[in-house]
Structure 1
Amino acid sequence: MEYIKNPMMIEEKSFIMIQEIIDEIRPGYEYKNEVEEKIIKRCIHTTADFEYLDILKISDTAVENIVDALKNNATIYTDTNMALSGINKRRLEALGCKYRCLVAEEETAKLAKEKGITRSMAAVEIAAKDSGRKIFVLGNAPTALYKVMEMRDAKELEVDAVIGVPVGFVGAAESKDELEKTDIPYIISKGRKGGSNLAAAIVNAILYTM
């Protein structure tokens, strides 16, 4: 059997094919800028879903805020270990950034039980106690997204940006719609689609431009 074995060649060919398909199904499609193009194409590369041409929404200052935060030793907080595992940690470490998933921590479980809330919500409360700049990367838990908005409204949490792409049926689309109404810099996937793999892909797309 003949097939491509070189990982760089596989990725390169994938992105060539993605552009060819975009040219076929959406001739003349225009991106706002080069970074948005890289983010959307990496989302498609990760999911094989060309609907992200339409449902991925990036607020005006989102990328700028994320890049600035990453250049200033921000901490990335994810709502799943799967999202965290997909992010290029070597690049984060080179920038002096930290990364945490607090959902499985004993402190998180205890707080969630005491308050009768989800672990994802408790993780946001614990993250709020940390100093430094914060980027939340949420691909699974709408409750975490709601909690970020609530705490920020109450001035209990400072956040530089939110990558909010929770997937699912209960609260996923609604939580992203609510985030879109705020002045928090955001990257969201409209509707039910999203996921931890998508969340990680968005972070990586931005990291690869730095």
Structure 2
Amino acid sequence: MMQDPQAVEEAGLKIIDQEAGAHSFHPGQWSVVRQVIHATADFDFAREMVFHPAAVEAGVAAVRFGADIVADTPTVDVGIAKDRLRKYGGTVWCFISDDDVILKSKEVNLPRTAVAMEKAAETSDGSIYAIGNAPAALLHLIRLVKEGKAKPSLIIGVPVGFIGAAEAKEELLSISTPFITCRGRKGGSAVAAAIINALSLLATHS
């Protein structure tokens, strides 16, 4: 049994390439998809992942530029490999537990995840947003983009769930900002983090 983590990952990725078979993704997109499959052991993502045509290039460029990553929840934050991001000056932020976010959420009767998107939009332009859990966060971010109040370099919108997740992801398909998503109910923290990790690997090795 292999013990070296890198060897285990490489062996897993080879299995994914073999079992997935033919697909229509270009090499950069496939690097992202296979990383998601590796994180979830779910080959459905080979059929459900959707990319804006410029998404991978925009994400890699943003990582290399040192763009910050905005995570909707701490579970996305902890899954991101931060060493590669730090190499370029990038930091991961998650504002959901900030005192000002909690207070404003109560005042305006909005979910904390949505208010956290507002804070992120006010903090910096050009961030990569990684939303793996909260459909409300994704919908609010889309609204902020349409209103010109948020200017992400890339939106990773993969919230998981039965209420609103699929609908929020379909709404994401309607905007011109580069995005990576997956249709349907599946998604989650591991998926969002895997996408970021795939992009940082591409930034480092391509």
TM range (shorter): over 0.9
- Does the aligned pair in 2 maintain the 1:15–1:41 contact within 8 Å? yes
Quote the sequence identity (%). 34
Aligned counterpart, 1:8: 6
Aligned counterpart, 1:93: 86
Q: Deviations over 1:106-151 (max 9, x none)?
A: 1111110111010000101111111342111000000010111111
Amino acid at match of 1:64: E
Aligned counterpart, 2:36: 43
Aligned counterpart, 2:175: 182
Aligned counterpart, 2:158: 165
Q: Deviations over 1:39-93 (max 9, x none)?
A: 1111111111101111001110111111222222211100111111111111111
Would the alpha carbon gap of residues 117 and 63 (structure 1) be closer, same or farther in structure 2, given more than 3 Å must change? same
Highest CA radius of gyration, 1 or 2? 1
Q: 1:196 aligns with which of 171, 184, 189?
A: 189
Q: Quick check: 1:30 aligned with 2:26?
A: no
Aligned counterpart, 2:72: 79
Tell me the TM-score normalised to structure 1 length. 0.93
Aligned counterpart, 2:15: 17
- Does the aligned pair in 1 maintain the 2:125–2:152 contact within 8 Å? no
- Does the aligned pair in 1 maintain the 2:77–2:94 contact within 8 Å? yes
Q: Secondary structure at the match of 2:152?
A: coil
Superposition deviation, residue 31 in structure 1: 3.6
Give the whole-Å Cα distance in 2 for the aligned partners of 1:32 and 1:50. Answer: 14
- Does the aligned pair in 2 maintain the 1:78–1:100 contact within 8 Å? yes
Q: After the TM superposition, which residues 139-150 of structure 1 pair with which residues of structure 2 at under 5 Å, given as runs?
A: 139-150=132-143
- Does the aligned pair in 1 maintain the 2:125–2:150 contact within 8 Å? no
- Structure 1 unaligned blocks of 5 or more: 24-28
Q: Secondary structure at the match of 2:173?
A: helix
Tell me the TM-score normalised to structure 2 length. 0.95
Give the whole-Å Cα distance in 2 for the aligned partners of 1:75 and 1:156. Answer: 17
How many residue pairs get aligned? The number is: 203
Would the alpha carbon gap of residues 50 and 146 (structure 1) be closer, same or farther in structure 2, given more than 3 Å must change? same
Give the whole-Å Cα distance in 2 for the aligned partners of 1:123 and 1:43. Answer: 25
Aligned counterpart, 1:60: 53
Amino acid at match of 1:198: V
